[in-house]
Chain A
Amino acid sequence: MSRQSNRTTDSKKMNSELFTLTYGALVTQLCKDYENDEEVNKQLDKMGYNIGVRLIEDFLARSSIGRCQDFRETADIIAKVAFKTYLGITPSVTNWSPGGDEFSLILENNPLADFVELPDNHSTLIYSNLLCGVLRGALEMVQMAVDVKFAQDSLRGDNVTEIRMKFIKRIEENLPAGEE
């Protein structure tokens, strides 16, 4: 009976495991396909980008969030709403650059890396690099060019997992010729 009663939380957890394991299977496959970790990192970023450009639509439709006034607001929304919705975690936003165009997301526990241990011969593999691509792709669709990369990764022996985000420029809207 106890299994019945907590079905909803259980099934949520199960789904997350499905996602985590599937992601693991993907990384394993990529490591087989490519000879070096650099290439795997690049591929993960590319796939993330493809996901990001579509995920943003899903996100905007569900969250009814409008345009952000500045990069600080963007950072807040990413950490408190987007990460919460899709991964169920809320990273903390820290290390603002004086100009306000760079910040870090600190992830306490990375759901993508739940059951993972990196072998020694993959020390340059950025396991969760998909996330960078997702963030970059999603922000590009709201006219922000942003540079995203892992500054620290607990899988590679760092204390925390840190994603560094740097605002590059606002993308001008290019209206097709002949439209107002």
Chain B
Amino acid sequence: MADDSLFEFLHMEIVSHIFNEQQSSKGELDNKDRAACISLLEAMGFRVGQGLIERLTRDTPSFKDELDIMKFICKDFWTKVFRRQVDNLRTNHQGTYVLQDNKFTLLTQFSGGKQYLDQAPKYLAFSCGVVRGALSNLGLESVVTAEVSIMPSCKFQVVIQKL
């Protein structure tokens, strides 16, 4: 029964570790290095998401369709991982979903407004991975990106890859 703050602290350390590691080996970071860090964090999250969904869906009945899966992610998965429900789910019914969380857990420690807006992608990459990992183990390959316009509200865009 680990406490929530423990996860938050650990997450911050992971983010700063990954970036410091790159910085010490490369000197200044350019955009490409930054993208590499982000995808590393995303990959770590992916594995975590896979593990979580396996344990979470152990006794859930199987899902009807894609929308059913997305609803599950927004309600049960979000509540258990990020401790609140997604505030708004929108879709174009062609495999693109936008999940809006008005008070995303990992951003609540930041000051509101625009001051740290440029830092936000670092702190969302892991969560994007978690969501993608969860969907992947439910049989949906996807691309998940996140976007912040005002802290601490955040929009996750999920694009399902049709095979």
Contacts and interface: CB of A to CB of B under 8 A. Distances in A.
B117 to A, nearest CB: 23
Contacts of A28: 44, 47
Instruction: Give the bracket for the number of chain A residues in contact with chain B.
Output: 35 or more
Interface in B2-36: 2-7, 9-11, 13-14, 16-18, 21
Interface stretch (B76-84, B138-146, B150-158): B76-84
A10 interface: yes
Contact of B13 (A18, A19, A51): A51
B24 to A, nearest CB: 11
Contacts of A88: 1-3
B80 A20 contact: no
Contact of B1 (A51, A54, A87): A87
A73 to B, nearest CB: 22
Contact of B52 (A12, A21, A51, A87): A21
A14 B80 contact: yes
B55 interface: yes
18 contacts: A10-B80, A11-B83, A15-B80, A15-B81, A16-B1, A19-B10, A21-B47, A21-B52, A22-B11, A22-B44, A22-B126, A26-B14, A47-B14, A47-B17, A51-B13, A55-B5, A58-B5, A86-B3
Interface of A: 3, 7, 10-26, 28-29, 33, 43, 47, 50-51, 54-55, 58, 85-88, 111, 115
